[in-house]
């Protein structure tokens, strides 16, 4: 059936953002386009096949929504298997981050890009329902 193909991120300065995302997230550029006022760049991660596209906009736009009770929530998150190492790399590069929060199922932190777009990074523990081993088991069950 379906799978996630690409995520689109609004940025106000495409050149600055291309450098920032390539340097800080290790993205690999697949494509870039410019057609009149439409300017963007498409990327993939070094693992997996989900795409991430930077789309130039004139004004910053939110990458988060507000839950009931006024708590902000990002639309998507990034996963890692080395949350402390990735956190330290972002901190060393002066990226705005929150502290790592640890729980039994998931460890997580937030960071912001140059436009103030908020993102979360998560590392699922082996007992999390979202851990890749559990997801693979579910996918195998549904494909049979």
Q: Judging by DSSP bridges, how do beta strands 101-102 and 72-74 pair with one another?
A: unpaired
The arrangement of strands across the sheet holding 77-79 comes to 77-79, 118-124, 106-112, 101-102
pLDDT tens per residue across all 144 residues of the chain: 688 899 999 999 999 999 999 999 999 999 999 998 899 999 999 888 899 999 999 999 988 899 888 888 888 899 999 999 999 999 999 999 999 999 999 999 999 999 999 999 999 988 887 778 788 888 888 877
Instruction: Name, in order, each residue with C-beta under 8 angstroms of 100's C-beta and a sequence gap of 6 or more.
Output: 83, 84, 87, 107, 108, 109
Q: Judging by DSSP bridges, how do beta strands 77-79 and 118-124 pair with one another?
A: parallel
Q: What is the pLDDT of residues 46-68, one digit of tens each?
A: 888 899 999 999 999 988 899 88
- Looking at the structure, give the CATH architecture of the domain made up of residues 62-144: Roll (3.10)
User: What is the separation of C-alpha 128 from the centre of its chain, rounded to a whole number of angstroms?
Assistant: 19
Retrieve residue 26's tokens: 């290790």
Domain spans, the chain: 1-58, 62-144
Query: In CATH terms, are 1-58 and 62-144 the same topology?
Result: yes
**Pick among 3.30.390.50, 3.20.20.140, 3.10.180.10, 3.40.50.150: CATH of 1-58:** 3.10.180.10
């Amino acid at each position: 059936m379906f799978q996630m193909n690409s995520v689109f991120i609004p940025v106000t300065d495409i050149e600055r953002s291309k450098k920032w995302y390539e340097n800080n997230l290790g993205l690999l550029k697949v494509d870039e386009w410019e057609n009149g006022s439409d300017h963007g760049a498409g990327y993939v991660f070094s693992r997996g096949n989900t795409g991430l596209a930077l789309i130039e906009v004139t004004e910053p736009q939110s990458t988060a929504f507000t839950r009931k009770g006024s708590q902000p929530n990002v639309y998507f998150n990034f996963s890692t298997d080395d949350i402390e190492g990735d956190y330290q790399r972002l901190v060393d590069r002066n990226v705005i981050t929150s502290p790592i929060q640890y729980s039994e199922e998931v460890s997580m932190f937030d960071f912001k890009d140059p436009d103030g777009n908020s993102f979360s990074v998560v590392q699922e523990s082996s007992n999390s329902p979202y851990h890749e081993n559990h997801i693979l088991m579910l996918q195998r069950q549904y494909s049979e």
